[in-house]
A and B are shown apart, each in its own frame.
Chain A
Amino acid sequence: MSGSFLKSDQNNERLETVAFDILRPVRINRSFILWLIFLFVALAFCLYAYSIQLRKGLIVTGLRDYTSWGMYIANFVFFVASSLVGMLISSVFGLIGVSWIKPVARIAEIIAIAFAAVAGLVIISDMGRPERLPYVFMYGRVQSPIVWDVTVVTTYFVLSLLLWFFPLIPDLAIAKTRFIDRPVFLIKVYKILSFKWVHHAEQYKILAKAVRILLILIIPTALAIHTVTSWLFAVTPRAGWDSTIFGPYFVSGAFVSGTAALIIAMYFFRVNYKLHKYITEDHFEKIARIMVLVSIVYIYFNLNEFLVPAYKMKKFDAIHLKELFTGRYALLFWGIQIIGLVLPVILLLFRKMRKPFPLLLISVSVLACSWLKRLVIVVPPQSHPYLPVQDVPSGWLVYKPTLTETAITLASVILVLIIITLLSKLFPVIPIWEIAAEDEKKEIEQDGKIL
């Protein structure tokens, strides 16, 4: 985030072309309206399912006394995990000065905002008495990891929102003068949100400083949200959750699912918004390498998480691990580990697989497996408590998610899509001024070399 900007706004051809290309998809067209209608209708159906749950209680889910956390909590963990990509791309790579991430950094931020925002709602769907949510703030106890989680997730959401919005301000100023054929309300929104930005050098200096502070703040916050989420499990004395490496295990897994989500979004925007010039094959090549890196780190933590207790086979660890390795969850467990983790790493060693389309397919399977992995982390340790499960209805012994529960979970996914759609369709998805400035910088460098 350099403080520099093009000297003149009007007479810069490069800025004009960049602005034209990036602002072209920012409009309210028919396909956008239709897509939104589709999303909202689907959401309405799913919210009907939630109304059933509100009326009848959590009995409509597959949850019962022994497996009392299921799909909702797994989905929550998945959402928190996926939102971590904003921190990885923007902060970690941004702060160490990796410049190629600029065109995709805002996409990563949008993903972070959408997932972090909806993660909070997912938790509410799991509550037996959702109307008592304010109690968490009124009677919150500092000892409870839930209170920590609520604190850090909301903090992360706000920071991500600011990190998305601050660099957007100059773009809004650039866009408002070029939005002749757009709806009046959109121009008005742009005018209000751009805060009379005049592209003054001083403004860019302040902006750079503010963004830098956010980038630094977001790193510990992001680590905190997923570490604390892992502690929801790790602080309990249950075999399978009772692990000291749950924090880094979750964080490293989060980078895998977040990167997969980012790749899918990148592919979508590149093709649908015709941004081939900005999100290039080279970007996919590089993000694929990142995917390999984070996957290998995650495999390392998986080895620690499963191999070490498997070596000792302590009584209850053994029951849990046998269920995963050879028992009821074996197919799911090995499927996830192989299709979602080991195979992608092997495939991505080949250059051909790092092309956009193959990479998209790999990312979709990685993302799906990431979701299922959260289910495997959440559910199996509950089905084998220390004391035997006896004298309960047979349906309680195996957790089977119901249709209602699935629909409610689907509602959260739809909400994520709605947020991503709105943020990426009503606002430029690639930072205009940063790209233009970057191009100019490159040109100057090249000129210098030639001279």
Chain B
Amino acid sequence: MGEKNKKRKSENSELEKILESSRRDFIKKAGLSGAAIIAGAAAIYSGFRHEKAKHPGNTIKVLTEDNRLVEVPVDQVKGYKPGLKVFQTRGREGIKGKKWVMVVDLSRCRNARKCIAACQGAHHLRPYEYHINTLVMQESENTPAYFMPKPCQHCDNPPCVSVCPVDATFKRQDGNVLIDNQRCIGCRFCMAACPYSARMFHWQEPKDATAVSGTEYNIELNVPQKRGTISKCLFSADRLRENMLPYCVSACPNGVYYFGDENEDAVTNGTTKETVSFKELLKKNGAYRLMSELGTRPRVYYLPPKNRLFEFEEPEKEQKI
């Protein structure tokens, strides 16, 4: 037993020795790191003071591209101008979660042609170059004539997209059919395939070609237009990105157009700014789509021209260029 205790005692003293030395070590290290912390904190504090002096408390909350809300000092905010690459990427993808639809109320159209003018102004087109045109329609002798605005139908089964050899014209996730005039080779197969004659070709140098030659090509506006390529109605994809109604829809004085998101089941009248249920509107008015028998599944719906508030007037000859 005694031997055992002795042994234990000697072990204890050895342990004490070790502890003693580590204690001393610890105090030394703690002192050193403490000093370092103070110095570091001082440095950070002075840095903070410095930064604080630079931004006197003004921050702004900004929504990032991936929908995060972040705070940014006001004077760090730079104006953002998207370049060609951004235009192309986002232009080809479309706006997430949306399914754009247009409803055209034929009973209200009296051929004011304001939609055409607004469209041609935005897209730098000549008076006889159309993304949208108002046609005089008459089924047969006994049926009444009426005006029919005809934009691109933005088909869900677009014949033009199928035949394009180089992916210049394409269907976006939000339903729009766009054209990339940086890619288009000018074969005009899409024109041949489109049953709605919705496409136009730049046979010559486009209007205002020199005036807009410096600006970056925006695929959602298709400006600057390019000779030897196709152009077409884009449902004003550039305006949709800014939460605005298409050019033609806003320009109409007669409340012909409704435009909106099928997913939300809401369409807004471009003239009255009244928002109604998309499905309700179609249901109440017996809506139809142009040549649905072709299986193109258009995203433009028409409300038949019944109960018109005005007489149909044959357009003047001059308008017919």
Contacts and interface: CB of A to CB of B under 8 A. Distances in A.
Interface stretch (B34-42, B52-60, B156-164, B259-267): B156-164
A146 B128 contact: no
A133 B205 CA distance: 20
Contact of B203 (A57, A139, A386, A392): A57
B192 A146 contact: no
A150 B165 CA distance: 10
A393 interface: yes
Interface stretch (A17-25, A231-239, A412-420): A231-239
A67 to B, nearest CB: 10
Given A57-B227, A147-B165, A235-B163, A135 B183 contact: yes
Interface stretch (B3-11, B20-28, B193-201): B193-201
A69 interface: yes
A401 interface: no
Contacts of A58: 186, 201, 203, 228
Interface string A327-367: 00000000000000000000000000000000000000000
A176 interface: no
Contacts of B294: 237
A132 B321 contact: no
Interface size on B, as a range, is 35 or more
B113 to A, nearest CB: 9
Binding site secondary structure of chain A: loop
Contact of B192 (A69, A135, A141, A391): A69
A104 to B, nearest CB: 36
Contact of B193 (A235, A386, A392): A235
Contacts of B159: 235-237
A68 B201 contact: yes
Interface string A139-175: 1110111110010000000000000000000000000
Contact of B166 (A65, A66, A139, A237): A139
Nearest to B191: A68
A385 B228 contact: no
Interface string B97-138: 000000000000000000000000000000010100101110
B185 interface: yes
Contact of A59 (B191, B204, B229): B204
B286 to A, nearest CB: 21
B43 interface: no
Nearest to A132: B185
Contacts of A139: 166-167, 183
A393 B128 CA distance: 7
A107 to B, nearest CB: 33
B203 A140 contact: no
B203 A141 contact: no
A236 B193 CA distance: 5
Interface string B191-233: 1110111011111110000000000000000000011110000
5 contacts: A128-B228, A144-B166, A150-B165, A237-B193, A391-B130
Pairs of residues from A and B, 9 with the lowest C-beta to C-beta distance, nearest first: A128-B186, A128-B228, A59-B204, A146-B165, A144-B165, A59-B203, A132-B185, A236-B193, A129-B228
Given A129-B186, A136-B165, 11 more contacts: A58-B203, A65-B203, A66-B197, A68-B192, A135-B183, A141-B166, A146-B165, A146-B187, A237-B195, A387-B135, A390-B133
